[in-house]
Structure 1
Amino acid sequence: MAANILLDIAANILLSLGSYASQEIGLALGVKEELRKMENNVSTIKNILLDAQERQMSNLAVKEWLQRLKLILYDDDDLLDEVATETKIRQGESLVKKVRYFFTSSNPLVFSYVVGCKFKDVGKRLDEIVSQMHDFQFVVKLVERPIETIRREETSSIMNTPTMIVGREDDKNNLVSLLLSSHYEENVPIIPIVGMGGLGQKELYKMHDLVHDLAQYVAGNECLSIRGAITQTIPDTVRHVSFYRDGKRIVHIYFNEGWFAPVFDWDIPWKFPRSLTRAKKLRTMLCSTKRGPTFESSEPEIGSSRCLRLLEGCHLASKLYVPEKIGKLKLLRYLSIGGVKKLPKSFCNLINLQYLDLPQSNMVKLPKDFGKLVNLRFLSFSTELTCLPKEEIGGLTSLRMLIISRSSNLRSLGEGLEHLSCLRELVLDRCSALVSLPAGFRHLTSLERLEMSSCHCFDFSNDDLKGLRSLKKLKVYNLPRLVNLPNGIQDAAASLTHLEISGCTNFTSPSEFIVPYLLSLQSLRISYCPEVRSLPEGMQRLTNLQFLSIVKCNLLTSSYKEGGEDWPKVAHIPSIELFERFKGLSTLDLLGEF
């Protein structure tokens, strides 16, 4: 496993060092020769890692050498990522101007001197580790199963991004390896497993469980257990920390050098241990507890862990404001933090952020420069706003999945939505005041999945869903005003494969002017719709339909069984589920099913 991790980090370092930006940085800092030597050293090390991995089992000196190497590669990767991030902040200027600006005396951090010294220090440590490597006389071994890495591109386009899939037998190794690497410019750091069916909401939740399961795996087999409060200083060697529940009252804190097990009252929120906030080289903080540790709104140490890439499961203290210093975590890719009502202005400095989940939040506004988070791929939040702000949402041009839930005041999705040309999945849940879709909705030409549930004031207009020629899945739940599907859905005739309608008390029937023309349809589910009494003529045209399910409707099921009057409509479908007719349940009974 160590070889997998180190191979991935080494490969990312080599890709960074080989980029045009790194060449310009080398010139500006006067460390071009150091970067060239660093590239040669990392390339040499990468070639012998498999042999070192095998020999560490029987050779303690090799094992210790690998541990030292891992820390050096981490520092090298952090340094390159830090410089690349500072450079990207000036994306409005030419690359040379952007780089040189940071290396002038006008920068209060005297970036040129500090970073130049860091490069020389890491280069010296690499020289020493390579010198020690020669003493072991490692041999070059080919990687039997190539580890796929993500190439850093000089562009922000994500249209041609390949989907990464890993086999189940190597899930843990590959996921750990990917989590530890920092360069995710072209892929969301959520990896679909074969058989999961892509990057849907359920699949993301499954991946969360897998990620949490990695904590103990990363820690290794030899762990130290200490009961009591966390007061010890966390060593600089620690990079990954995970909190998890054991029973009702114990929260374990795992990290890759050992673990602590303090006792907490499960029903009372607990403060984030200050010793962890001072661990400056942490890359991962995971919390899988039901009610995770809280950050005080004035927490000064939150900006200390500037190498942090992933922060999940923490909550905010009662003021519900994210600390201003969170903007210092500029390498952050993945953030899930609960109890948020307002984000600070500095939040928009997180230009590397790709995944933002704000559970149990109720946003009163978004920061003015929120649209500058141009690398954001996943966004989930709730809001008190009546309309989504145009600039703040429209700037998120790389967004692929948007989830808006529990937003009872939201009446309009706003004009900014039309600029999300890369959006693939949209989920609108419990937006009870939402009335309609914006006119620019037709510009979401990459949208593949639309799910709407419990939007009590919403109804499709006839032109809704026009232009959505990539739409594959449409699911509507508990939309009491829905009577018919919009005619605009015919634009998705060549792409729509799954259609599901449930709990829509006034929905009458799949229209014979729409459904029989959805020739790519593979699955049709209708449930708890009491006004549905028949299936349309022309069902026979749906030759790709593999599954039909009609549950708790007023369809005369006997008519659709073999020998029945309507059997010819469905005889060609391999799998059919027809359950009992809807029998006089009240609307409250019906909605209780959801």
Structure 2
Amino acid sequence: MDFFHGKTKRLLYKINQDKITFSLLEYHTVLDANWDKVHKNVKHLSVDSKSVACASGFDLLERFENLNTFFLVAVPGFYVESIPRSLFLCLKGLRSLNLSRNRISELPSSIGSLKSLMYLDLSYTPIKRLPDSIVSLSNLQTLRLRGCLDLLGLPKGFGMLTSLRHLELDVVGQLKSMAPSMGSLINLQTLSAFLVGKDDGCRIVELKKMINLTGAFCISRIENVSSSEEAMEADLSSKKFLCRIQLRWTETRDADARKEERILECLKPPLALQELSLLCYGGSKLPSWIADPCYDCMVDMTLYNCFNCEYLESIGKLPSLQFLHIKEMCKLRRIDEGFCRDGEGQQSHAFLSLKELTIEVMPELEEWTGVQSGDFPCLQKLKVEHCPNLVSLPRLSCLYSLKHLEMSDCPVISSLPDRGVSASLEYLLIKDCSELMKTCNKSEGKDWVKIAHVPSIFVDDEQLSSN
């Protein structure tokens, strides 16, 4: 079939009619139970759930023996709740199966007959368990289980799915434990988390050969790691495609500080890491590697509820760090020079790339010192919150890029540093800081002159004019 320009009669393009016919034979969509034009040799078929419910659709589906792709599209009011056993026995050539967002609570064991299946999507279904026969799907590469909130766990033989590359589910939120022998899935690239167990097949050493993991990854229940040797064997540093790592302990537990220090020291992440989070760590000090400037891709770090930590490593040496959040270090009393630099030949300035710093919920923190002129040259936002014993702040006037400063629930601080805040500051919030509120009072506070140039000043939600 030729198409010409109307005036010039110049040939614009040709369409091969045979290819159109072939395409229509291969791909088809069934809506509102309109099955009439579906060729028996169709390979890729999308059917809405209404068509299945209203027209004995599953019986009709069984005649499409050459089907490679089947997508059951959920339509409100016509959700499919079960799949007949005979369907998978008839469609043995399926490579891609999407049943997402329907109300399927279980699959028939006959799914194990789909030996060519490479893609299975059960996302946002109320499925409770996968049939044991699923482990015979030797070609399965992608299994999607996101939003399956009723899922009780994965089959015991799940490690047999050695072709699996993408397992999409919220491991921490959806599973109580990992399936045994997950370490056999050496081709796995997508896995949100690993729940460390104490039993063989569920220990952290299962991670040893999973070197293809990519993106974000969480190791949870690290308190179940029995020794530093076991942590070392997991070989976290070899997972070079991971860019975001969260190391997480269970919050309510009896922590062995020395043991947790040794284990965390052996959980050294890959050098290409961009984001790191430590949650509920029980050691009294951070690992030495956390301040290694070789982590030159690290842009974001969160230290949350490191409840026994008494000292901060020289995180200021990290050259690319832009966001740092420190929260609930309940035993930390001082932030000093060691936070910025270690005094061992480090460049004179610290935190060269940091843009945002949050220090929050530090009940024992009394002093913050050690900031020199030239440190934090890019810092734009600083939040200091819920530090009831903090007496003073470091020099703020030398933070030449600072635009946003928040001070909340720091009742002991009685005044700002001698030289006040930097000229760059555009927004200042002081809330629940009873002593500081007095000294920053516009009419008679001795610190008002230090902040009068700031365009937006809020003290306990009241905006003060700087004019």
Shorter-chain TM-score range: 0.5 to 0.7
The question of 1:533 aligning with 2:402 is answered: no
Question: What SS does the corresponding residue of 2:302 show, helix, strand or coil?
Answer: strand
1:464 aligned partner: 339
Who is 1:355 aligned against?
Answer: 216
- Work out whether residues 239 and 270 of structure 2, in 8 Å CA contact, stay in contact via their aligned partners in 1: yes
Match of 1:237 in 2: 95
AA matched with 2:309: L
Q: Which structure has the bigger radius of gyration? A: 2
The 2-side partners of 1:219 and 1:557 are apart by 62
CA distance in 2, matches of 1:426, 1:493: 16
Matches within 5 A, 1:103-118: none
Contact 1:348 1:370 in 2 (8 A): no
Indicate the SS of the match to 1:371. helix
Q: Which has the higher contact order (CA 8 A, sep 6+)?
A: 1
Aligned partner (choices 289, 297, 305) of residue 416 of structure 1 = 289
Maintained 8 Å contact 1:472/1:496: yes
CA contact (8 A) 2:123 2:146 kept: no
1:300 partner SS: helix
Instruction: Output one character per residue of 1:482-506: Cα deviation in whole Å (capped at 9) or x when no partner.
Output: 2232314655331111111111111
Alpha-carbon deviations, 1:303-336, whole Å to 9, x = none?
A: 4162433432136876x45532443241413423
What is the CA–CA distance in structure 1 between the aligned matches of 2:325 and 2:192, rounded to whole Å?
24
Code of the residue aligned with 2:329 in structure 1: it is C
Q: What pairs up with 1:395-474 in 2 under 5 angstroms? A: 396-407=270-281, 409-417=282-290, 418=292, 419-438=294-313, 441-458=315-332, 459-466=334-341, 467-474=350-357
Judging changes above 3 Å, is the alpha-carbon distance between structure 1 residues 367 and 562 closer, same or farther for their aligned structure 2 residues?
Answer: same
Residue 450 (structure 1) shift: 1.6
In the aligned structure 1, how far is the partner of 2:435 from the partner of 2:120? 62
The 8 Å contact of residues 73 and 99 in structure 2, kept in 1 or not, is answered as no
1: CA distance, partners of 2:81 / 2:303: 44
Tell me if 1:312 matches 2:192.
no
Matches within 5 A, 1:18-417: 62=23, 65=26, 225-228=79-82, 233=88, 236-238=94-96, 270-274=128-132, 278-279=136-137, 280-289=139-148, 292-295=151-154, 299-304=156-161, 306-314=163-171, 320=177, 323-338=180-195, 342-359=203-220, 362-364=223-225, 366-368=231-233, 369-383=235-249, 385-387=259-261, 389=263, 392-394=266-268, 396-407=270-281, 409-417=282-290
Q: CA deviation at 1:433?
A: 0.9
Indicate if the aligned counterparts of 2:326 and 2:360 stay in contact, CA closer than 8 A. Answer: yes
CA 446–317 in structure 1, closer or farther in 2 if over 3 Å, else same: closer
Distance 1:238 1:356 in 2: 26
Determine helix, strand or coil for the equivalent of 1:426.
Answer: strand
Matched residue, 1:146? none
Q: Is the 8 A contact 1:239 1:283 kept in 2?
A: no
Q: TM-score scaled by structure 1?
A: 0.51
1:521 positional shift: 0.8
Q: Give the percent of matched residue pairs that are identical in Structure 1 and Structure 2.
A: 16
Q: Distance in 2 between matches of 1:504 and 1:309?
A: 43
Task: Tell me which residue corresponds to 2:437.
Answer: 557
Q: Which runs of 5+ in 2 are unaligned?
A: 1-12, 29-70, 108-117, 250-254, 342-349, 463-467
Distance 1:60 1:361 in 2: 58
Alpha-carbon contact 1:327-1:346 (below 8 Å) kept: no
Q: Corresponding residue for 1:101?
A: none
| Contact 2:285/2:311 (8 A) holds in 1 | yes
1:477 CA displacement: 1.3
2:378 equivalent to 1:495: yes
Please say if residues 324 and 344 of structure 1, whose CA atoms lie closer than 8 Å, have aligned partners that are also in contact.
no
> Could you tell me how far apart the structure 2 residues matched to 1:230 and 1:305 are?
27
Alignment partner of 2:335: what SS? coil
Match of 1:174 in 2: none
Q: Distance in 2 between matches of 1:317 and 1:260?
A: 15
Q: Is the 8 A contact 1:226 1:262 kept in 2?
A: no
How far, CA to CA, are the matches of 1:292 and 1:489 in structure 2? Answer: 54
CA deviation after TM superposition for structure 1 residue 516, in Å = 1.0
What one-letter code is carried by the residue in structure 2 that aligns with 1:283?
A: T
User: In proportion to residue count, which structure has more helix?
Assistant: 1
Say which structure is richer in strand.
Answer: 2
Aligned 8 A contact 2:360 2:387 in 1 = yes
How far apart in 1 are the matches of 2:413 and 2:426? 21
> Aligned partner of 1:545: which letter?
L
- Across the aligned residues of Structure 1 and Structure 2, the Cα RMSD in angstroms comes to 4.2
Residue aligning to 1:83? none
> How many aligned residue pairs are there?
360
Are 2:157 and 2:179, in contact at CA under 8 Å, matched by a contact in 1? no
CA distance in 2, matches of 1:449, 1:241: 40
Corresponding residue SS for 2:289: helix
Kept in 2, the 8 Å contact 1:308–1:331? The answer is yes
In structure 2, distance between residues paired with 1:381 and 1:243: 32
